[in-house]
Amino acid sequence: MKLTVPTLLSFAAGYTDTAGFLAMHGLFTAHVTGNFVTIGAALVMGATGIVTKLLALPTFCVAVILARLLRYRLVAAGRPVFRTLLAIQLVLLVLGGGVAIWHGRFEQGDAPAAMFAGLVLVAGMAVQNAVQRVHLGKAPPTTMMTGTTTQLMLDVADLLHGVPQEQRAAARTRMASMGGAVLTFAAGCAAAALLYRYAGMWCFALPPVLVFAALCHRDTAGDA
């Protein structure tokens, strides 16, 4: 599989989401609406981290708004937008991951350190979502796979049913792109689970490396 910026970010999103879920008592950092499900589970099962999960969505929303407002300022000043937002995401992942590594395993999901680290990581993934929507619109989503998987299955059904040659070619091209995104995201999830199992909180050292690689990728050289 070709190593592109969307590929790196898809792997980073799957990885960060899984690492956050495992280390921070069921907190989703990239797929924040999933936190409503875990809030319900926490209320029934008595798990911790309810406050952090409640704060995840507003944190995500504020981060996206700030990223959008910053884009307007950068454009007006003639400064690079894509690279700047990726750099901000990198800083947020370093900060959130660094706190997690420094603190060690979180016994309570709403402990100050756990809340700070988790919400900073949520903000970092919010910036990635904003970058995806504005700068990588032609690529499959890097953080949410539900819509991508749905489209994949629709294309499979169309090919099984039989469609005109033009639609067949378009469906196959789309399936190759979206299938790669889903597999990359899933690989990130698996890698995070393995590294959390064997390296503990040090698993949070990898996401900043992935975003740094995306920042240095030649595809970001012609920033817009």
**At 62, phi and psi to the nearest 5?**
-65, -40
Q: Are 15 and 210 in contact (CB under 8 A)?
A: yes
Distances (CA, A) of 58 to 52, 77, 126, 205: 11, 29, 11, 26
Q: Compute and round to an integer the Cα radius of gyration of the chain.
A: 18
In this prediction, residue 14 carries a pLDDT of 94
In this prediction, residue 78 carries a pLDDT of 92
Give 121-164 pLDDT, tens digit per residue. 999 999 999 998 888 877 777 877 777 888 888 889 988 888 88
Q: Are 135 and 6 in contact (CB under 8 A)?
A: no
Structure tokens at 58: 């507003």
pTM for the full predicted model: 0.88
Residues 6 or more apart in contact with residue 130 via CB below 8 angstroms: 63, 64, 67, 68, 71, 85
In this prediction, residue 44 carries a pLDDT of 77
CA–CA gap between residue 181 and residue 139 (Å, rounded): 9
In this prediction, residue 77 carries a pLDDT of 93
Residues 6 or more apart in contact with residue 65 via CB below 8 angstroms: none
Give 224's pLDDT tier (boundaries 50, 70, 90).
low
In this prediction, residue 170 carries a pLDDT of 85
In this prediction, residue 49 carries a pLDDT of 77
In this prediction, residue 81 carries a pLDDT of 93
In this prediction, residue 220 carries a pLDDT of 66
In this prediction, residue 152 carries a pLDDT of 84
**At 153, phi and psi to the nearest 5?**
-70, -35
In this prediction, residue 148 carries a pLDDT of 80
In this prediction, residue 212 carries a pLDDT of 95
Q: Are 208 and 111 in contact (CB under 8 A)?
A: no
Write down the domain spans for the chain: 5-143+188-220
Average pLDDT over all residues of the chain = 88
DSSP string covering 157-215, please?
HHHHH---HHHHHHHHHHHHHHHHHHHHHHHHHHHHHHHHHHHGGGGGGHHHHHHHHHH
